[in-house]
Structure 1
Amino acid sequence: GGFRGGRPGGGAGGGGGGFRGGDRPSGGFGGGGGFGGGANRGSFGDRQANNGANLRSIKWTSGDLTPFEKNFYKPSEQIMALSETDFNAYLAKLEITLKGREIPRPCITFGDCGLPDYILEETVKQGFTKPTAIQAQGMPIAMTGRDMVGIAQTGSGKTLAYVAPALVHIQHQETVHRGDGPIALILAPTRELAQQIQQVANDFGQRTNTNNTCVFGGAPKGPQIRDLERGAEIVIATPGRLIDFLERGITNLRRCTYLVLDEADRMLDMGFEPQIRKIM
């Protein structure tokens, strides 16, 4: 699923699935059938295939892993008091369709999600009056550390749906030191989307000591390298540039316990499947 609330399973790090920025139907992880679906990568995808060839799988059992917590969701009394009928009516009102087991109930207000005051105050400042469908259901799932795939239309506020829980997750982890990799990794297909995500992270994380950086191709590497070497709790990246830095040892994903693939289907359609597999 799209939020990864656990230790990466292999490769350079990471795990998880994605948030899709669109509403077209999918038959698996991102489009088509299964991981990557039937996307026609073409020559662009073929050129991307060798990126990450020098990455080595991490033997997670060979070293000490930093302990981490991942379940921070405490549903409000209002949510707990909802009858099954009211609960189903609320899902229908927001047109939320769920598939899975023991899924947390959606929040009705941002206060129901168990978010800290600095995030709640920023939602008011940003003009959010109540959670959208993806926020109402996505935040509780992410706050419990569960994996999910969230499908929502563009403009539905999906970025906040994973950035706010990411900030909560980070605040409950050990401090990131120089040379450590990020705690939260957000992959995006384009520079423009990566920068938009960073703006949301800046807005909602400005009252914390959370550092973030944005790494993407087509820009000088020097400033990006300096940010990574200083240590950033959140890294927002395009797959190609991230793999370049992983191969060179500029950063690592040993501390990564929260992973998002934003517009996962688009990344697969663009031929990024080999890179995503290597990162994860």
Structure 2
Amino acid sequence: MSRYDSRSGDPSSYRDRRSDSGFGASTGFGGSVRSSSSRNSYEVVESPRKLDLDGLTPFEKNFYVESPAVAEMSDREVEEYRLQREITVEGLDVPKPVKSFRDVGFPDYVIQEITKAGFVEPTPIQAQGWPMALRGRDLIGIAETGSGKTLAYLLPAIVHVNAQPILSPGDGPIVLVLAPTRELAVQIQNECTKFGASSKIKNTCIYGGVPKGPQVRDLQKGVEIVIATPGRLIDMLDSHHTNLRRVTYLVLDEADRMLDMGFEPQIRKLVSQV
């Protein structure tokens, strides 16, 4: 269920992106509905192809430094905390959960946004998910609606973006969040805008049922985070308005729902280009 990248990226070795510098993680958490006019174009999906890795921008994805308070937790204390918060984990070398926001090691600009939002402590999905995502682990997170899962992947995504070289002309996004519906995509974008503002991270929302012009302009100007429904994003890729060569942090929000809605071929096509 989890794959660990052995490269150890030292957060202190990266400068803050906000000073015009480049400061990774691949993470999954779990479309607009296909219209009849465009359905046929989705029925046949290209087989995953081997990407040309030459010239791709190198990236790091491990930015987690365990705090002394977390490191001192015994196995029994970890087990009791998980039992208390109803956290169940599977996988190898799963990091200990965090009890406070300060234990995560988020940069000050992220902590300021958390404080401004009035949050008191991490929710269960955040307490266990943040250390995993910040390590660059592949992760499946299951939590109820309203449990804070959006921030469980968005805040590590912001740290990840700030750790990468800045976008060059023609680059696609660094973070890609796929969602099953326009409504969810817009909701995710609102959170992304709120918590990414202090880092000046640009985002856009790509979904069907509206004119393409504004979305195309956003993509051409360059955005670090794209929140998209599968159908419209494939349309943008086929039209060469963007590409996924810089994507190093991938999220499938409500992945089970996307599969129930029949989006597996589109998801496979998109993932094959990441």
Q: TM-score, normalised by structure 2?
A: 0.84
Query: What is the letter of the counterpart of residue 50 of structure 1?
Result: S
Distance, in Å, in 1 between the alignment partners of 2:73 and 2:122 is: 17
What SS is found at the alignment partner of 1:141? helix
From 86, 106, 118, the equivalent of 1:95 is: 86
Q: How much identity, in percent, do the aligned residues show? A: 53
Corresponding residue for residue 188 of structure 1 = 179
Distance, in Å, in 1 between the alignment partners of 2:28 and 2:3 is: 7
Corresponding residue for residue 241 of structure 1 = 232
Distance, in Å, in 2 between the alignment partners of 1:231 and 1:69 is: 21
Aligned residues: 250
Distance, in Å, in 1 between the alignment partners of 2:221 and 2:232 is: 18
Kindly report which structure 2 residues correspond to 1:207-222, keeping only aligned pairs within 5 A, or say none: 207-222=198-213
From 108, 111, 118, the equivalent of 1:120 is: 111
Cα deviation code 1:32-83 (max 9, x no counterpart): xxxxxxxxxxx989x7463285868554345222100000001111000111
Corresponding residue for residue 126 of structure 2 = 135
From 191, 197, 203, the equivalent of 2:194 is: 203
Call closer, same or farther: CA 1:49–1:94 in 2, change over 3 Å: farther
Aligned 8 A contact 2:45 2:266 in 1: no
Q: Report how far residue 100 of structure 1 moved.
A: 0.2
What SS is found at the alignment partner of 1:129? coil
Query: What is the letter of the counterpart of residue 218 of structure 2?
Result: D
Distance, in Å, in 2 between the alignment partners of 1:83 and 1:198 is: 38
Distance, in Å, in 1 between the alignment partners of 2:5 and 2:221 is: 24
Aligned 8 A contact 1:5 1:259 in 2: no
Cα deviation code 1:83-142 (max 9, x no counterpart): 111111111111110100001111111111111111111111112100000001111110
Kindly report which structure 2 residues correspond to 1:42-57, keeping only aligned pairs within 5 A, or say none: 48=39, 50-51=41-42, 53=44
Structure 1, unmatched stretches of 5+, are 7-14, 21-42
Query: What is the letter of the counterpart of residue 19 of structure 1?
Result: F
What SS is found at the alignment partner of 2:204? strand
Aligned 8 A contact 1:201 1:212 in 2: yes
Kindly report which structure 2 residues correspond to 1:1-280, keeping only aligned pairs within 5 A, or say none: 18-20=28-30, 48=39, 50-51=41-42, 53=44, 59-61=50-52, 63-280=54-271
Cα deviation code 1:149-182 (max 9, x no counterpart): 0000000000000000000001110101231000
Corresponding residue for residue 19 of structure 2 = none
Distance, in Å, in 1 between the alignment partners of 2:139 and 2:106 is: 19
Cα deviation code 1:227-249 (max 9, x no counterpart): 00111000000000000001111
Call closer, same or farther: CA 1:132–1:263 in 2, change over 3 Å: same
Structure 2, unmatched stretches of 5+, are 7-24
Aligned 8 A contact 1:19 1:151 in 2: yes
Query: What is the letter of the counterpart of residue 250 of structure 2?
Result: L
Call closer, same or farther: CA 1:126–1:62 in 2, change over 3 Å: closer
Q: Report how far residue 191 of structure 1 moved.
A: 0.7
Query: What is the letter of the counterpart of residue 194 of structure 2?
Result: D
Call closer, same or farther: CA 1:159–1:186 in 2, change over 3 Å: same
